[in-house]
Structure 1
């Protein structure tokens, strides 16, 4: 029969207290301050890129079939709003940037892509599913948070934030 030593409850509570708190998902009404991000093409976009502008953030992965359906829709919306204040940032959760670079190049996507990292996760919270879309207004307030594939008309409607 195996034996074990019971851990006193106070020791267990103390041990758990030093673990980092899990990141919580953002919710409508929260305020997000995006950090500087390095895109997969090597460019760095600083926090000033987002300041005072609405931002559509999409979290996705190359292996996600729902993302594969949504990305062309996002590309179309991005192209239609290029000369507006609306900013787009996509965040890949893939483990290898080279996989993402190849995927984006093959599909001729031009929307900005960065890789998920701890600093970005801290800013936008835990991911609840993919694709996931978060829209920030000009003040960084979350005005939309959608989890799962959005239909073409829903993605196209994100363009309305360019004028809000």
Structure 2
């Protein structure tokens, strides 16, 4: 007994929905909120042993990024962060990536293996609390040259979003 199977041809709505699902999977939405408050006094020991603080970075536009090696969206945003860092560092842009991982060595190995050059440190509970809490990863805070938090980004950043948010602050 032969059964004829009709060849499936998706309609336009199915294709649009599949495209939207793929877009959200690879570039999930991020919620950007306006802020206007003083950045906390946060000091950290970088993965290479140097110490830095937000006070030392005053005069630069700083992206403070809370992330973890086990977070797929964090891992997905990092190549764009690295590229943006390389392109805008000379113009006064800086990144401070604060890892929420439990151990230092896997973070150091990950950063080295992936070839990321922006400064990273291990986050402590007091760091997240100083920024008002971090309930999901990745979460980033954009700090202007005067040391004020101007934006909170809950979710993944990508190059175009960084350009839209950072370049006006660099021009101030």
Return the alpha-carbon distance in structure 2 between the equivalents of residues 158 and 106 of structure 1: 29
1:103 aligned residue (91, 110, 128): 110
Structure 1, unaligned stretches of length 5 or more? Answer: 1-25
Q: Aligned residues, how many?
A: 139
TM norm structure 2: 0.73
Residue 162 of structure 1 aligns with which residue? 170
* 8 Å Cα contact 1:34/1:50 also seen in 2: no
> RMSD over aligned Cα, in angstroms?
2.0
TM norm structure 1: 0.76
Residue 94 of structure 1 aligns with which residue? 101
150 and 53 in structure 1: CA distance in 2 versus 1, 3 angstrom threshold: closer
Structure 2, unaligned stretches of length 5 or more? Answer: 1-32
27 and 92 in structure 1: CA distance in 2 versus 1, 3 angstrom threshold: farther
Task: Name whichever structure is richer in strand by fraction.
Answer: 2
Instruction: Tell me by how many angstroms 1:27 deviates.
Output: 6.9
Q: Secondary structure at the match of 1:74?
A: helix
Is 1:82 equivalent to 2:104 in the alignment?
A: no
158 and 73 in structure 1: CA distance in 2 versus 1, 3 angstrom threshold: farther
